[in-house]
Amino acid sequence: MKGWNGRLLRVDLTKGKTAFQEYSSDLATRFVGGRGFAVKLLWDELTPGTNPLSPENMLIFATGPLTGFILPNSGKMVVASKSPLTGGYGDGNVGTQASVNLRRSGIDAVVITGRAERPSYLFVEDGRAEIRDAADLWGLDAFKAERRLKEEHGREAGVVLIGPAGENQARIATVVSQEGRAGGRPGMGAVMGSKNLKALVFHGTRELPAADPSRLKELGREGYQAILGKDRYGFWKRQGTMATVEWCQEHSTLPTYNCREGVFDEADAISGTTMEKMVIKQRGCPNCNMICGNVIEDSEGRESELDYENVTMLGSDIGLGDLRKVATLNRMCDELGLDTISAGSAVAFAMEAAEKKLIDLDIGWGDFDGAKALLADIAHMRGHGATLGLGVKAAAEKIGGGADGFAIHVKGLECSAYACHLCPGMALSFGTSPIGAHHKDAWVISWEISTGKRAEYNPEKADKVIEFQRIRGGMFEALVTCRFPWIELGFELDWYPKYFEAATGVKTSLDELWALGDRVYALIRAFWVREFGDDWSRQMDYPPKRWFDEPLTKGPLKGSHLDRDKYDKLLQAYYDKRGWDDRGIPTKATMDRLNLSAEAAELAKYVKLN
């Protein structure tokens, strides 16, 4: 096989053993890489009902056949596991030198099981792997620990690691890297902590095996050149994802006061334009020429790398309109290894619970010091943080008193930063995302608003959600490159089949890549259904209650809210188009069509297939 290394690394932390293993060509041809590899391995090897924080759970770091080649934005990898936050499939995508080094060490993925007796880290270098002692790293924040590891292993080492939040198994802990990259929102950091695993360090010097190296090199050069020529390049370089703040404010979708509102009086103070004047440097992922991590000095004089999601969930959503203070909370999350979206949502939830006198906590909207204290408590799972660190769904169940009405999540994963009171298409995207409420798979909100039909529930919206899920959640997560060249600058999708062919020698088309996306989606859905059994229902594909029950009270869209009956019809249209039944489960015919017949037979042991 060219393009792929054809080997993965198995690590059993309980036994202290590592082993390199060739994987089947079927895994590569049917599932390609990244998310595709992750779900197939979890489906085949994880016993249903496994406690996500037990040694038996699997933690997977997976790259794809484009990762690491000198191609636009190819320095990314997927981290996946059964999620302790949702109980279903969970993954995330992190940009890091570790992805490139992992590939150049001669493997495509690492599969970790067991639990180390003592705090440990994994060291991988060109065909060898060792589990090493991490006693002196345990307890350190992620920045300090990564610096320590780089002092020992060199600046070129690629490191992914957890902070105290992962160590303490906060269910909203993520995996972090490079002081400003993070991935694995649905508690992948907690899974890593439950394994007593502080970090993975990769060194790699091997040449990646391309099918047609000179063609790949040429295509890579042309691709980078094409990106530089895109109209939006200059603006993107100035603002990155932060331009979305102003756009969301304009369209009443800015998450504000725990997603109660879509406009924030102090939006200007946390906008991309405000940030532009504060930027001191930019950082980003390897192999990228559109670096988008904008770094500013926070309120305590330290560096903090900003993104739209981070700034709004730790800003407008908690009522804080001071960008340097928001940056401080953002930096804290990166150091502690807390997902900024879920952490912001948990703080906002706590502020609202306190306002409604459902919890005894002295905190108000915009309370910076209160938010700081709460983030530290969540990361250490102490005080109110012990409840909030379980995620807002579980916290609402514990608190009671109607708190579930303002817990902003789908399937237990907190919503990323879009208030969808008048965006049924985006609500469907959150509802049907394969990991819980994340925008990453189908960010249809911009398309939906630009059509001028945002209030409609027409089936065209289900088509668009599926189209985006195929591209973003399917193709990009399996090839494993960053999707920003395409979605932000309009870098044409046709490049990717060409890259794939030059890397692997396998001819493909966009249609085949969409079919891959559908296959991966069907198997992820099967994974959820196998875990939940009779508790599975279409209600799990509903967006948060708040957007149905509580109209916006401010801004030009005052009075807007989602409609349950209409949403349900839109959801049915989505199921019909996907070939899933009215419970949202892929039918046998659909699974056969997607070359998943053996997987369908396995699923039929748990639920009646239509």
Q: What is the sign of the dihedral through the CA atoms of 117, 118, 124 and 130?
A: negative
Tell which positions 409-438 bind ligand SF4, by CB under 6 A.
Answer: none
Q: Structure tokens of 531?
A: 């875990």
Q: What is the sign of the dihedral through the CA atoms of 430, 436, 437 and 443?
A: negative
Size of the site for ligand SF4 (CB under 6 A): 11
Q: Are strands 109-113 and 7-12 parallel, antiparallel or unpaired?
A: parallel
Q: Are 252 and 556 in contact (CB under 8 A)?
A: yes
Tell which positions 99-138 bind ligand SF4, by CB under 6 A.
Answer: none
**β-strand partners of 414:** 409
| 479 near ligand SF4, judged by CB under 6 A | no
* Tally of CB atoms within 10 A around 277: 8
CA-angle at 553, arms to 552 and 554, nearest 5°: 100
| Residue 291 binding result from ligand PTT, ligand SF4, none, given CB thresholds of 5 to 8 Å by partner type | ligand SF4
Q: Are 414 and 341 in contact (CB under 8 A)?
A: yes
Determine the residue type at 252.
S
412: left (phi over 0), alpha (psi -120 to 50) or beta: left
Q: Structure tokens of 63?
A: 């790259």
Tell which positions 306-365 bind ligand PTT, by CB under 6 A.
Answer: 307-310, 333-334, 338-341
Segment near ligand PTT (CB under 6 A), from 91-99, 420-428, 501-509, 551-559? 91-99
**β-strand partners of 176:** 161, 182
**β-strand partners of 111:** 10, 60
Q: Could you tell me the smallest distance in angstroms from the CB atom of residue 558 to ligand SF4?
A: 35
| 95 near ligand SF4, judged by CB under 6 A | yes
| Residue 341 binding result from ligand SF4, ligand PTT, none, given CB thresholds of 5 to 8 Å by partner type | ligand PTT
Task: Single out the residue of 165, 200, 290, 513 in contact with ligand SF4 (rule: CB under 6 A).
Answer: 290
Task: Single out the residue of 53, 142, 285, 427 in contact with ligand SF4 (rule: CB under 6 A).
Answer: 285
What does the alpha-carbon distance between residue 310 and residue 243 come to, in Å, rounded to a whole number? 13
Backbone angles phi, psi at 550, to 5 degrees: -125, 100
Residue with Cβ nearer ligand PTT (327 or 462): 327
Segment near ligand SF4 (CB under 6 A), from 291-299, 451-459, 469-477, 591-599? 291-299
| 171 near ligand PTT, judged by CB under 6 A | no
Residue with Cβ nearer ligand PTT (349 or 575): 349
3-state secondary structure of 178: coil
* Tally of CB atoms within 10 A around 509: 12
What does the alpha-carbon distance between residue 431 and residue 538 come to, in Å, rounded to a whole number? 10
Task: Single out the residue of 171, 185, 203, 325 in contact with ligand PTT (rule: CB under 6 A).
Answer: 185
Q: Could you tell me the smallest distance in angstroms from the CB atom of residue 488 to ligand SF4?
A: 7
Q: Are strands 293-297 and 181-183 parallel, antiparallel or unpaired?
A: unpaired
Tell which positions 50-89 bind ligand PTT, by CB under 6 A.
Answer: 76
Task: Single out the residue of 66, 422, 482, 562 in contact with ligand SF4 (rule: CB under 6 A).
Answer: 482
Q: Could you tell me the smallest distance in angstroms from the CB atom of residue 189 to ligand PTT?
A: 9
First vs last C-alpha separation in the chain? 37
By Cβ distance, which residue is nearest to ligand SF4? 284
| 157 near ligand PTT, judged by CB under 6 A | no
| 495 near ligand SF4, judged by CB under 6 A | no
| Nearest-10 Cα torsion for 78, 79, 84, 86 | 0
| 241 near ligand PTT, judged by CB under 6 A | yes
| 484 near ligand PTT, judged by CB under 6 A | yes
Segment near ligand PTT (CB under 6 A), from 477-485, 503-511, 523-531, 600-608? 477-485
Q: What is the 3-state secondary structure (H, E, C) of 375-441?
A: HHHHHHCCCHHHHHCCCHHHHHHHHCCCHHHHCCEECCEECCCCCCCCCHHHHHHHHHCECECCCCC
**β-strand partners of 182:** 176
| Residue 106 binding result from ligand PTT, ligand SF4, none, given CB thresholds of 5 to 8 Å by partner type | none
| Residue 288 binding result from ligand PTT, ligand SF4, none, given CB thresholds of 5 to 8 Å by partner type | ligand SF4
Q: Could you tell me the smallest distance in angstroms from the CB atom of residue 109 to ligand SF4?
A: 20
Tell which positions 242-281 bind ligand PTT, by CB under 6 A.
Answer: none
Residue with Cβ nearer ligand PTT (354 or 390): 390
| Residue 94 binding result from ligand PTT, ligand SF4, none, given CB thresholds of 5 to 8 Å by partner type | ligand PTT
Segment near ligand PTT (CB under 6 A), from 57-65, 176-184, 264-272, 366-374? 176-184
Binding site for ligand PTT (CB under 6 A): 76, 92-95, 174, 176, 180-185, 241, 285, 305, 307-310, 333-334, 338-341, 440, 476-477, 482-484
